[in-house]
Amino acid sequence: MHPDGTVATPDDTPQIVVVGSLNLDVTARATRMPDDGETVLGDDFTMLPGGKGGNQAVAAARQEVPTAIIGCIGSDSAADILYDAVRLEGCDTRFLTVVDGPSGIAHIEVDHNGDNRIIVVPLANEALTPAIVDHYADDIASATVLLCQLEVPLDTVRHALELANMHGVLAILNPAPARPLDDEILSLVDLLIPNETEAALLTGIDTSTRGGALAAARALLERTKGDVCITRGSAGSLLVSTGSDEVLETEVFPVDAIDATGAGDAFCGGLASAIARGLPRSEAYRYASACGALATTTHGAFPSLPRRRQVEALLGGAMVADAPDITVR
């Protein structure tokens, strides 16, 4: 949605094209997670639009950057919720395909610390094929940023990245949920944004410490063609770049975190928007860090994705390269 309250129209050429999933998030909250075979009583329940593709598209659109999402929704009532949600947030929905059957579903558990466990059932998202993406090749070619994740078929992700490479569009991959990836896919990526778990799976390196995360980032850098940014939750994020020994570390802003669901998607969408707006690298990552931090202050993924005015308020109205929450080592 634009600042004046109007909804984006097809006249707004997308600067960011997201290829990804749309799911209905079914979330249960309880004091603690159940152990194996145990039942615990919860204290809240919600059904909200989500999916990593939908979340990241909305996260970018809420930064007032024209954004489109290429994805599939089902023919059920959940599809209406998903379609209206992204449309009303200003995402261009001309690229959504309706397929027979149920829409994607995510089952989410959240405890009182804000930690979460998620099971994603792709359903309609599995119908997103390279042929569907091909139909929108011109729109990808005219974009500034392509943003992908791994909740849709891998062949489709690979094809979207190939199109971005063909047309000189910055290709960002958030390799989530965690799964092995071959060098063919990684070599197509300009900016890889894994979290610690995903980086560990891709490299076999223990990422629980800063040193381990940095080693994993450098290992992944050898397999991509651009930058690697590992998000580390409450420890912030670190970025390594091709052709440089510099490590850029962005700390998390001090906020009252209650639910980490959606924080990674807010970071990715916020970073894509900052890059599309042409912010310098250190400012773009600081912007993304603020997006991720704000997302932890609200329950649920979709409701927690911050708007530009909130991010700029947290940043204090000025994004400068030498801000105190960025250190270069």
| Residue ranges of domains in the chain, CATH in brackets | 16-22+51-102+123-328 (3.40.1190.20)
Q: What is the pLDDT at residue 183? A: 95
Mention every residue, 6+ apart, whose C-beta is less than 8 A from residue 182.
none
User: What pLDDT is attached to residue 1?
Assistant: 37
Which residues of 93-252 form beta strands (DSSP E)? Answer: 96-98, 104-110, 116-121, 145-148, 170-173, 191-192, 227-231, 237-241, 247-250
Q: What pLDDT, on the 0 to 100 scale, is given for residue 321?
A: 36
pLDDT in the model for residue 12: 66
* DSSP H or E segment with residue 328: strand 326-328
Beta bridge partners of 19: 70, 148
- Cβ burial 199-222 (10 Å sphere, 16+ → b, else e): bbbbbebebeebebbbbbbebbbe
d(C-alpha 161, C-alpha 79), whole Å: 26
Single out the catalytic residue among 36, 43, 265, 322: 265
pLDDT attached to residue 7? 41
Annotated active-site residue 265? The verdict is: yes
Rounded Cα distance, 329 and 248, in Å:
7
Ranges of residues in the chain with a pLDDT under 50 are: 1-11, 318-329
Nearest to 276 by CA among 218, 174, 191: 191
Q: Whole-model pTM above 0.85?
A: yes
Give the separation between CA 177 and CA 173, rounded to whole angstroms: 11
> Residue 84: which residues within 8 A CB-CB, separation 6 or more?
none
Please say whether the beta carbons of 201 and 238 come within 8 A: no
Smallest CA-to-CA distance from 301 within 96, 25, 61 is with: 25
C-alpha to C-alpha distances, 267 to 137, 194, 204, 259, 313, nearest whole angstrom? 26, 11, 24, 15, 16
